[in-house]
Amino acid sequence: MSKPVVGVIGNSGVVNDRHNVQLVGQRNMRAVAEVAGALPLMFAGTPDITDVEALLEAVDGILLTGARANVHPTCFGIEPDPRHEPYDQERDAVALHLITACVERGIPLFGVCRGLQEMNVAFGGTLHPEIRDIPGRMNHRMPRLANGEIHPDPEVVFADRHEVALTPQGRFATLLGCEKIRVNSLHGQGIEAPGGRVFVEGIAEDGTIEAISIADAPGFALGVQWHAEYDPQTNPINRTLFKAFGAALQDRQR
């Protein structure tokens, strides 16, 4: 039997200050190929060239990756602020349509970082542009040096930084066989109010929502705030999640 196909969303970018491109981090592709056992197929996060209906006929599941750009505040009724740029409104348009279509049809959907945030917005939830500005919250952004530059060592940047308490008997607790895990943290924006069908599966020590599922979804529809794509080849938590995604892809393919 051929491998299931996973559509991996692209992000708008500019190379050499002149070439408009679509970008996907290689770790996302490797997580799909090496752990979920599927063929990753990048598609453009650009609504005028990505036909969602045609895309969903061609794939067995969708991975919504992390990205530098925040979800545009107008998607959840807030005025934009230049301090929270960049934005990628073309990806917003594709992702929000795609999420509801996947859930409606039972097509496996896995959201990572920005992907979790998009899933929340797609079902009517809101986001806070800078979680660390909320009283009592930690700084969830990636570690930096004293001079403000991003730490050069990926093992430091992607190291586990805080605990997540999983909802007892929830989807994540059942999959992982525990009720507490440790994860990495590389985000500024985060969930403020969960959407109507968004079930909270995991919460960080400071109250930040870290894991969700979509209530009454007929298929796999999970999201994580941490970067699970970084090390699923070696990290047992992230490996289990991508393996479960892979199993759902195979079921869909059959």
- Average pLDDT, integer, range 15-27: 91
Residue 29: per-residue pLDDT? 97
pLDDT confidence tier of residue 245, bands split at 50, 70 and 90: very high
What total of structural domains would you count in the chain?
A: 1
Domain span at 12? 5-253
Active-site residue set: 113, 227, 229
The model's pLDDT over 221-243, given as tens digits with 9 standing for 90+, comes to: 999 999 999 999 999 999 999 99
CA distance 57 to 32: 19
CB-count exposure of residue 26 (10 Å: 0-12, 13-18, 19+): exposed
CA distance 159 to 157: 6
Residue 1: per-residue pLDDT? 62
Higher pLDDT, 142 or 191: 191
Query: What proportion of the chain, given as a percentage, has pLDDT over 90?
Result: 76
Non-local (6+) Cβ contacts of 60 within 8 A are 4, 5, 6, 38, 107, 108, 249, 252, 253
Residues composing the chain: 254
The model's pLDDT over 87-138, given as tens digits with 9 standing for 90+, comes to: 999 999 999 999 999 999 999 999 999 999 999 999 999 999 888 888 888 8
Residue 13: per-residue pLDDT? 87
Least confident interval from 113-117, 150-154, 201-205: 150-154
The model's pLDDT over 39-75, given as tens digits with 9 standing for 90+, comes to: 999 999 999 999 999 999 999 999 999 998 999 999 9
CATH code for the domain in which residue 155 is found: 3.40.50.880
Structural contact between residues 64 and 109, judged by C-beta atoms closer than 8 angstroms: yes
CA distance 99 to 112: 13
- Give bridge partners of residue 193 from the DSSP assignment: 126
